[in-house]
Amino acid sequence: MKPRTHKQDTQVIVYDADCIEQPGTELFDAESWEQSGGLVGLAEGRGSALLLETSFGPAVLRRYLRGGQAARFSRDRYFFTGFEHSRPLLEFNILATLQPLGLPAPHPLAAQCIRDGLFYTGSLLTRRIPDVVPLADLLGCEEAGPELWRATGACIRRFHEQGVVHADLNARNILIRDPETVYLIDFDRARIKKDAHRSFEANLRRLRRSLEKLWPGGERQNLEKCWSALMQGYRVLPEESL
């Protein structure tokens, strides 16, 4: 990919020039996509994420929104400390860094940051990963056998081996295509820090809490078996790390 930066007035757009020739605000405008017929659906459980069909392939458009108590004051405005520190540009750069490493993460297409005085709003456009479902949708299902859980653990370990600390590793941010093909998504506030063992352990604890919260029927014994398989896969070093 070829990351490029386009700055105009109070906005900055970073984009992959291999996919997008002329970046503009219409890339991040839901109404424009709807009028052109490019808006084909919504991504469940992912806030304002829109599913798009574009000239550069299937894509996901996500507007950055606040959650929790902060949303009471502003749903989509963040304090501005510089374009380079904005969440959309940081996430684009993280994803761009992951691409040459061959890690199973979304391909970044473009990110936008618009300054408005002391605040900013932002959006991120990524290539859509086809034929996947969130791990959360497979909990307790027969197809979610030991092989899938081992593959999930191995996928997480690949990211940790490259120093990637995911800020919100939960069952909805892990996508499954088949028992051997697993992806991680949502790298907002992620960082790369070698040998961040405590952070890696915190990632796993957060995922465990997510599974406990979402597991159907409180089948604790089944959860323990699946978690054991995940950790078995996690403890096996990826081939590229040997």
Could you give the residue numbers annotated as active site? 168
Using CA atoms, how far apart are residues 107 and 109, in angstroms rounded to an integer?
6
How far is CA 174 from each of CA 75, 105, 132, 190, 218, rounded to the nearest angstrom? 25, 10, 10, 15, 21
Check if the beta carbon of residue 54 is closer than 8 Å to that of residue 38.
Answer: yes
H helix runs in the chain, sequence order: 30-36, 87-98, 146-161, 197-214, 220-235
Check if the beta carbon of residue 58 is closer than 8 Å to that of residue 128.
Answer: yes
How far is CA 234 from each of CA 32, 43, 75, 166, 174, rounded to the nearest angstrom? 43, 28, 37, 15, 14
**What is the chain's alpha carbon radius of gyration, rounded to the nearest angstrom?**
19
Closest by CA position to 97, among listed 163, 177, 157, 49: 163
Using CA atoms, how far apart are residues 177 and 110, in angstroms rounded to an integer?
24
